[in-house]
Structure formats: structure tokens, C-alpha cells
Amino acid sequence: MTSEAAIGSAEIRRLILLTERLSERLRAETAAFAARRPQDVAASLSETQDLANQYRRESAQLKANRAILTAAPASERMALIRATETFEAILETHGRAVEAARTISEGLVKTIAHEVSAARALGTGYGATGQAALGDGRAITFNRTA
């Protein structure tokens, strides 16, 4: 194996391992969302972000330097393709789980905001002088974006 092929092989193996680690993290996060335990995801979010950033950088470097890819053996290129296909499938499932959790969280916030504003409105009416009572002077703000 030439030195170029050895370098290409090492780079691809490193990217395969990184892809598999990131896939496993996303698989674990998806399972946590399915088990209704998003707090488990929050605890390791920085590690997942670090892996995702590293994956983005290394895949961009490989894309920019195609010679590394072409110098590697075909078996390792195929292993990278399989790892990437698995990663993309896991990423799609993870995206749906995150979207579902976001939708549920927004629904809870909307419901709570509605209940709070409805409870505050009940105390208003007319005072002894015939003028409208001001009710609770505290404001509630609800932002529709997450």
C-alpha cells in the first residue's frame, strides 16, 4: 500500500468511526425521546454537538480533498458509504423525534399561557363606583416560536 493509500485509508477509517459514534449518540437520543425522557438528551447535548461539528469538519475536508478518498481501498470506501447511509437513516428518525418533542413542548406552553390568562381575566368586573376594575396588572407574554 502506498503512503497516499495509507493516509486515505486512515482518514476514511477515522471518519467511519466518527460516523458510527455520532449515529450511536443519535440512536440513544431518539430512544430517550421515545421513552419521554428528554432530560436525558439535555444532559449529553454538548457531547452530541461536539461530535456533529467534528463530523461536519472532517466530511468537508474529505469532500474538498477527493484524492484521499480515491487513494483508499474500495472496501473502505464502501464501508464509509454504508456508515453514512445508516447515519442518514438515524438522523431522519432523530429529526422526527425532535420535532415531535418540540410540538409537545409548544403545546404545553400554549396551554399554560391560555390557562394563566383565563384565570387572570376572571377577577375583573365592575367596582363599587361603577367603573371597570383593572384586574391583575401583571402582563403575560407568549412567543409563538421555539
The verdict on residue 18 lying in a domain is yes
Query: Confidence band (pLDDT; 50, 70, 90) for 102?
Result: confident
Tell me: the pLDDT tens digits for 12-42?
Answer: 999 999 999 999 999 999 999 889 888 888 8
Per the rule left: phi > 0, alpha: psi between -120 and 50, beta: everything else, 142 is beta
Specify if 111 maps to a domain. no
Residue 115: what pLDDT?
Answer: 83
Q: Any bridge partners for residue 126, and if so which?
A: 132
Q: Would you say residue 28 lies in a domain?
A: yes
Q: Contact 26/89 with Cβ under 8 angstroms?
A: no
* Per-residue pLDDT tens over the stretch 115-131: 887 776 555 666 677 67
Supply the range of the domain harboring residue 40. Answer: 3-87
| pTM: predicted TM-score of the whole model, two decimal places | 0.72
| Number of domains forming the structure of the chain | 1
- pLDDT tens, 45-64? 999 999 999 999 999 998 89
